[in-house]
Amino acid sequence: MARPLLTATALLGSVIMIPIATQAMAAVDTDTYREFDQFLDVFNRVKADYVDKVDDKTLIKGAIQGMLASLDPHSSYVDALDFDNLKIQTEGNYGGLGLTVSMEDGAVKVIAPQEDTPAARAGVKSGDYITHIDGKLIYGDTLDESIGLMRGKPGTKITLGLVRPGRDKPLELSMVREVIVQKPVKWEVRGDVGYININTFSENTGADTRAAIMSIDKSLGHRPLGYVVDLRANGGGLLTQAIAVSDAFLDHGEIVSQRGREKTDIERYFAKPGDDAHGLPVVVLTDPGTASASEIVAGALQDHHRALVMGERTFGKGSVQTLLPIGPSTALRLTTARYYTPSGRSVQEGGIEPDIRVPQISDPDYKSRPVFREADLRRHLINEVKADDKILEEDTKTDPRFAMTPEALKKEGIEDFQLYYALKTVARLGGAAQVAAATRPVVKIPAAK
């Protein structure tokens, strides 16, 4: 409490020549001190009367966590374990399931499963609630405790109990932990179209995206018709890498700005000269799992008319979190700004609306499974601009396959309708032969035993 008291004393001293201001400040300080007194009363009552002995460190940490949790869903207290988790997200590998999760009203909620991981292959989906781990009820556990239970030695089995909105009965999915290797960028060639799948924004994502563009050119022996950049189920990551990825497709102009509490507190980030993709057509795929850093990329390319954004409206996380150290291994993860696209749009709460709405009709649950976004989080920051999530009627008429069932699509070899449609859109610029090549089903050859 020493620091707030010193600050208050300094403020009082600075306005001592202005009686009216002094009286107002004194009234404010009196109210503040009264609140501190109430906090200390509660602290002492808990220490004295709680059924079990509890140490000061636990109580203080709980008070800090509660204070930050009352602000917004993304501000939090970061201890040593959280530092390790953040490091894993941006740098390292770990034994686990490949899930991005959050805490909602005491329950662990899945934001997105990482592609080609045990969780994704077992069928865990965005919006699922994890209720049990190996038969143990985890409701009421902290998020760190639940994450700790899900991580473990590669090769060990684990069973998750899930509640999926829209399903009458709970699900029980078994899987085997693996070493989850952060591979932020994958690429392949479909016909004459380059496909770049970006699943996280870790420390090398920008460089890996540029390398993918070069590899696609080299693989074809010439430049492709264009690129599909897949940002679906990408929960974000480092701001620097979102800027780097955007810059790979832009040669000028603003990429993103972040604005703090004061009108003058603005930082702007710009593209450097040179477009690695040589101005070729780009389609960016998005869905409700496209969040934060992913939305910066989608918004920048959309505003500069550099890419068509296709798929579904994004998650809507338009806030910036800053790590403020308060000790050798602790920090505050505090929301300090909102970010804005080049045209001045805030994606907070509303997300990025696609230029062409394409539902994932190859997913049997796409109509019944509720969608989870920033606006569903308690205490999320409010944005005056609202958005709806209806599929536009004219979009559903552009291809007869919009009316097909997942089973019928599968018979045609289309397991990912959104990707099929994105590839078709880019390839259409090259004619019927290119469309056929780009959308041809991929034949997977079994590995030799």
Indicate if 303 belongs to the active site. yes
Tell me how far CA of residue 159 lies from CA of 24, 112, 177, 354, in angstroms. 59, 18, 10, 36
Most confident range (mean pLDDT) of 32-41, 84-93, 239-248, 403-412 is 239-248
Alpha helices in 131-201, H assignment, sequence order: 143-150
In a domain, 68, yes or no: no
- By mean pLDDT, which of 46-60, 150-164, 299-313, 357-371 is the weakest? 357-371
In a domain, 445, yes or no: no
Q: 3-class DSSP state for residue 258?
A: strand
> Same structural domain for residues 255 and 388?
yes
pLDDT band at 195 (very low <50, low <70, confident <90, very high): very high
Segment 139-153, tens digit of pLDDT: 878 787 888 899 888
Q: What H or E segment, with its residue span, contains residue 283?
A: strand 282-286
> Same structural domain for residues 136 and 218?
no
pLDDT band at 330 (very low <50, low <70, confident <90, very high): confident
Say if CB 126 and CB 110 are below 8 A apart.
yes
Distance CA 123, CA 142 (A): 24
Q: E-assigned strands of 304-432?
A: 308-311, 319-325, 331-340, 356-357
pLDDT (0 to 100) of residue 349: 82
User: How many helices, marked H, and strands, marked E, lie in the chain?
Assistant: 12, 19
Distance CA 215, CA 43 (A): 60
Average pLDDT for residues 251-270, to the nearest whole number? 92
> Same structural domain for residues 351 and 212?
yes
CATH number of the CATH domain containing 198: 3.90.226.10
Chain-wide mean pLDDT for the chain? 81
Question: 75, 126, 246, 292: which is the annotated catalytic residue?
Answer: 292
Segment 212-237, tens digit of pLDDT: 999 999 999 999 999 999 999 888 88
Residue 277 DSSP symbol: T
> Same structural domain for residues 287 and 367?
yes
- Establish how many alpha carbons lie within 13 A of residue 386's alpha carbon, considering only the half-sphere containing its beta carbon: 2
pLDDT (0 to 100) of residue 82: 64
Segment 390-400, tens digit of pLDDT: 444 344 445 67
Is 447's pLDDT higher than 70? no
Distance CA 337, CA 268 (A): 12
| C-alpha dihedral sign at 23, 28, 34, 36 | negative
State which residues form the domain around 365: 185-438
CATH number of the CATH domain containing 120: 2.30.42.10
Question: 230, 303, 362, 424: which is the annotated catalytic residue?
Answer: 303
Is 262's pLDDT higher than 70? yes
Distance CA 327, CA 312 (A): 42
In a domain, 2, yes or no: no
Q: What H or E segment, with its residue span, contains residue 63?
A: helix 56-69
Domain boundary among 146, 180, 214: 180
Indicate if 219 belongs to the active site. no
| 308-311 vs 356-357, strand pairing mode | parallel
Distance CA 227, CA 307 (A): 9
Average pLDDT for residues 166-182, to the nearest whole number? 88
In a domain, 16, yes or no: no
> Same structural domain for residues 124 and 214?
no
The phi and psi torsions of 176 (rounded to 5 degrees) equal -120, 130
Question: 128, 317, 362, 424: which is the annotated catalytic residue?
Answer: 317
> Same structural domain for residues 357 and 389?
yes
Please name the residue that has the structure tokens 């150290």: 325
> Same structural domain for residues 97 and 193?
no
In a domain, 364, yes or no: yes
Q: What H or E segment, with its residue span, contains residue 226?
A: strand 226-230
Q: 3-class DSSP state for residue 8?
A: helix
- What are the DSSP calls for 341-373, one per residue? -TTS-B-TTT-PPPSEE---TTSTTTTTSPP--
Indicate if 388 belongs to the active site. no
Bigger pLDDT: 121 vs 263: 121
In a domain, 403, yes or no: yes
Tell me how far CA of residue 228 lies from CA of 38, 224, 401, in angstroms. 57, 11, 20
Q: Is 81 left (phi over 0), alpha (psi -120 to 50) or beta?
A: alpha
Domain boundary among 147, 180, 213: 180
> Same structural domain for residues 370 and 255?
yes
Distance CA 248, CA 229 (A): 12
Token pair belonging to 172: 């029980």
Domain boundary among 145, 180, 215: 180
Average pLDDT for residues 292-301, to the nearest whole number? 95
User: How much of the chain exceeds pLDDT 70, in percent?
Assistant: 81
In a domain, 308, yes or no: yes
Task: Say what the pTM is.
Answer: 0.73
> Same structural domain for residues 258 and 377?
yes
By CB atoms closer than 10 A (0-12, 13-18, 19+), residue 306 is buried
In a domain, 166, yes or no: yes
Tell me how far CA of residue 26 lies from CA of 18, 129, 255, in angstroms. 12, 48, 45
Distance CA 323, CA 307 (A): 32
Domain count, the chain: 2
Residue 289 DSSP symbol: T
